[in-house]
Each structure stands twice: as C-alpha cells, then as structure tokens.
Amino acid sequence: QSALTQPASVSGSPGQSITISCTGTSSDVGSYNLVSWYQQHPGKAPKLMIYEVSKRPSGVSNRFSGSKPGNTASLTISGLQAEDEADYYCCSYAGSSTFVVFGGGTKLTVL
Amino acid sequence: QITLKESGPTLVKPTQTLTLTCTFSGFSLSTSGLGVGWIRQPPGKALEWLALIYWNDDKRYSPSLKSRLTITKDTSKNQVVLTMTNMDPVDTATYYCAHSDIVTTIGAHDYWGQGTLVTVSS
C-alpha cells in the first residue's frame, strides 16, 4: 500500500483537460511544498514533469500544471494528446526520516 | 549531458545479498548539492523509493527497508552502489538509479537510468 493515494485510472478525450489527485497527510504533502509528478510510458523510466508542486523542468510542456490545496496535490493536463497516455506518479518529501514517498500511480487513458 | 546506468545480477536466490551499481556521467558527486538515489518498481506495480546518498556522504533510507539497505559512493569512479540483504521473491522489481539536486529541490529526481530487472527466485 502506497503512502500517497491516487485514483487508479482517469481518462479523457483529445483536447480535453484532466486532473489527477494525490492525497497525503500532514506529514508529507500537507507539510511541504515538495510534491513532484512523474510520467511513465510502458517499459520506460519515469520522467519528471512537475517539481515543488507547480514548477516545470526545462522542456516539459506548459500543458502540464500542478497545485496543492491542503493535503491533496493535483496534476492537470490540458489539451490532452495521445502521447500523454501513460502512468503518472506523485511523490512528496516527507521529512528527514521518511524522506520520500510515492503514490500508487494513475493510468491515464486518452480515448 | 547527464546519464545514469544500472548494472548488476538479473537473478538472485532468496536470502542472498543483491549488489547494484549505478554508473553515471555528466556530473560529479563531489559537487555540492548533488545526490544519487535508488527507486524500484515491481512488475505492474508502483514506484517505491529506497535510498539516496548526497555529495557530502549524507545517506537517507526508506524506513521500511533501512535494516536491509546500504548505499555507498565512489566519487573517483562516478559510481553509487546499493546493497540489499536477505532478498525475497517480493523484491523482484526493476531497480532504477536517479540524479538529485538539492539546490533545485528536495526529494525529486530529474534524471533516471533505464532500470535493471532483478528477479528473486530459487
């Protein structure tokens, strides 16, 4: 059982927007603005898409955005494209002892 | 250009110790703020963070696996080694190493290796 809770699956049509939630606790998501999101295509390594809740690494499309009200972080993908179909994982810093926790992952299907 | 590559056995027997090596290029672990971590993913399952070592030899471990893990670095060889004792079939997974930069952020990994599948079976 993963420390952070994500929906198992979400879907959307091309051009639409979707949001993936990531629920943690006051020990991780709620305490630090250090939530990151990873995209993983089948058989590939994860790719960092968002860090520190809403920052995008160089080269990541601005169709990807993040937010974090309270203990729940969210990843929003706007203007869905077929290439966005992948698994998405949230991740949070959880203090110096636990350090990092991942979510259980969400499979995004582009209809 | 930062690259990382994992190497090690593809098959280990239960109770054995696993030793994985991450060989990287494009950065040095003598540079302040940098680190290399390990993350694993059982087939069809979620990512699980394991351990991380920083430039200053500060080490962090997953609390649930801390008793079984050891992470070390060889700065001269640009390598980080992860050992996991008492392997069990549930440890079958793809093991990734990944780059981290504390100056940019804490807890995120911006460059990843391709991963190496380790199967635990007798």
Shortest Cα distance from A103 to chain B (angstroms)?
7
Q: State which residue of chain A sits closest to B107, comparing Cα positions.
A: A93
In this structure, the number of other CB atoms found within 10 A of the CB of residue A53 comes to: 19
Q: State which residue of chain A sits closest to B4, comparing Cα positions.
A: A45
Geometric angle at alpha carbon B100, from A21 and B102, rounded to 5°: 95
CA distance B62 to A105: 19
In this structure, the number of other CB atoms found within 10 A of the CB of residue A61 comes to: 14
Q: What is the pLDDT of residue A1?
A: 67
B113 pLDDT tier (thresholds 50, 70, 90): very high
Q: What is the pLDDT of residue B91?
A: 98
Mean pLDDT of A21-27: 93
Per-residue model confidence as pLDDT tens digits over B42-78:
999 999 999 999 999 999 999 999 999 999 999 999 9
Per-residue model confidence as pLDDT tens digits over B5-51:
999 999 999 999 999 999 999 999 999 999 999 999 999 999 999 99
A83 pLDDT tier (thresholds 50, 70, 90): very high
Q: Which residues in A lie closer than 8 A to residue B113 (C-beta atoms)?
A: 45
Q: Is the pLDDT of residue A65 over 80?
A: yes
The H-assigned helical ranges of chain A are 95-98
Per-residue model confidence as pLDDT tens digits over B76-86:
999 999 999 99
Contact predicate A18/A64, CB 8 Å:
no
Residues pairing with A76 in the sheet? A19, A65
Nearest to A29 by CA among A94, A89, A74: A94
Chain B residues with CB within 8 Å of chain A CB? 37, 39, 46-49, 52, 60-63, 96, 104-110, 112-115
Contacts of residues A41-45 at CB distance under 8 Å and 24 or more positions apart, as own/partner, are A41/A86, A41/A87, A42/A86, A45/B96, A45/B112, A45/B113, A45/B114, A45/B115
